[in-house]
Structure 1
Amino acid sequence: MPSAPRSGCAINAAVEVLGDPWAVLVLRDIMFGNRRHFRELLAGSEEGIASNILSSRLKRLTEQGLLSRATARRGQRALYSLTEAGIQVLPIMVALGNWGLDHRDGDKRLRVRAELLRDGGPALIEAMMDELREIHQGIPRPDPDAPRPSEQLQTAYAAAVRD
């Protein structure tokens, strides 16, 4: 259950959920890395998130309505999925990536996704949101024959790693 925000300011309400760097990075890894299980998120973290921090952020993001957690039976791994509110964080991630591209240095292989999303513009962002809805919510993409943005991102990443 979401707690009451410190004020009625919309920016404050968003920052209370998204202002934690680890929460944003967990969402990034779920969105762009399709990491949906605890162990995948832990092992795949470029930044080296600690297991207790990951556990805390997954719980908070679920409580805040950005993720859902499928109940796992004994011996199974819990599956995390983006909710619609979580999917709608994508344009914020793109804006953060654009700012990072403009104002910070970084590793080329880790910048390529942000560059592709910046250059693809609103159409690519919307297509990515549609693909996330399909993956996480089971809602078919409006144009199932259209290229998958995740494949475009993966191809661009592979090319950057090769170079």
Structure 2
Amino acid sequence: METIERRSSCPINYSVEIFGDKWMLLILRDLMFNGKNSFLEFRASAEKISSAVLTEKLNILLNEGIVTKITSPKNASKFLYLLTDKGIELVPFMVEILNWGSRYNPNGGPKTLLEGIKKNKKKAVTEIQDKLRSQRQSLIEKQADTF
């Protein structure tokens, strides 16, 4: 089990030790905005994370209670990673990063999502969070029906 050695008890330090590299934010991006939740889907992202790094980062997210891992209802040899409520609480943070990045990199970003955020950020965040909770619940129910 991967644990993080904390340098201090500072809340910012705690956050940086979990999210302080690009891979964590990209995995969260894929979970929240791109509908990805399997190892192979994460590996297929444009940034080309290595299997070893992805395994390490997913284990940290699991150990921190930000994601949970279930067996795929469609394929018992495949695992799915789903955001927990703790992970879903990060949506406003990720929306701010997405919004900031799109402001200074106008060539990138999901146009429909960005339009919704610009129109009504609070509503967009709530809709994303509700969708993630609903998808998680649906997959957990399907998994329970399978086994």
Same fold (TM over 0.5): yes
Q: What is the match of residue 85 of structure 2?
A: 84
In structure 2, the CA distance between the partners of 1:94 and 1:75, relative to structure 1 (3 Å rule), is closer
Q: What is the match of residue 144 of structure 1?
A: none
Residue by residue over 1:71-122, the C-alpha shift from the partner in whole angstroms, topping out at 9 and shown as x without a partner, is: 47x96101111101110111000111122123x32534x2523343233310
CA distance in 2, matches of 1:119, 1:5: 39
Query: What amino acid does structure 1 have at the position aligned with 2:107?
Result: D
Q: What is the match of residue 93 of structure 1?
A: 94
Aligned-pair CA distance for 1:10: 1.3
Residue by residue over 1:16-42, the C-alpha shift from the partner in whole angstroms, topping out at 9 and shown as x without a partner, is: 111121011001101111111111111
RMSD, aligned CA: 2.3
CA distance in 1, matches of 2:119, 2:54: 31
Query: What amino acid does structure 2 have at the position aligned with 1:47?
Result: E
1:66–1:85: 8 Å Cα contact kept in structure 2?
yes
Q: What is the match of residue 41 of structure 2?
A: 40
Q: What is the match of residue 142 of structure 2?
A: none
Q: What is the match of residue 134 of structure 1?
A: 134
Query: What amino acid does structure 2 have at the position aligned with 1:36?
Result: N
1:68 aligns with 2:68: yes
CA distance in 1, matches of 2:125, 2:66: 18
The 5 Å alignment of 1:84-163 reads: 84-102=85-103, 104-108=104-108, 110-112=109-111, 113-138=113-138
Aligned-pair CA distance for 1:49: 1.5
CA distance in 1, matches of 2:130, 2:86: 13
Q: Percent identity?
A: 34
- Larger RCO: 1 or 2 (CA < 8 Å, sep 6+): 2
Query: What amino acid does structure 2 have at the position aligned with 1:23?
Result: M
Aligned residue pairs: how many? 135
Secondary structure, counterpart of 2:82 in structure 1: strand
Residue by residue over 1:45-74, the C-alpha shift from the partner in whole angstroms, topping out at 9 and shown as x without a partner, is: 1212122211111111111111011147x9
Q: What runs of 5+ residues in structure 2 fail to find an aligned partner?
A: 139-147
CA distance in 2, matches of 1:8, 1:84: 23
2:71–2:77: 8 Å Cα contact kept in structure 1?
no
Q: What runs of 5+ residues in structure 1 fail to find an aligned partner?
A: 139-163
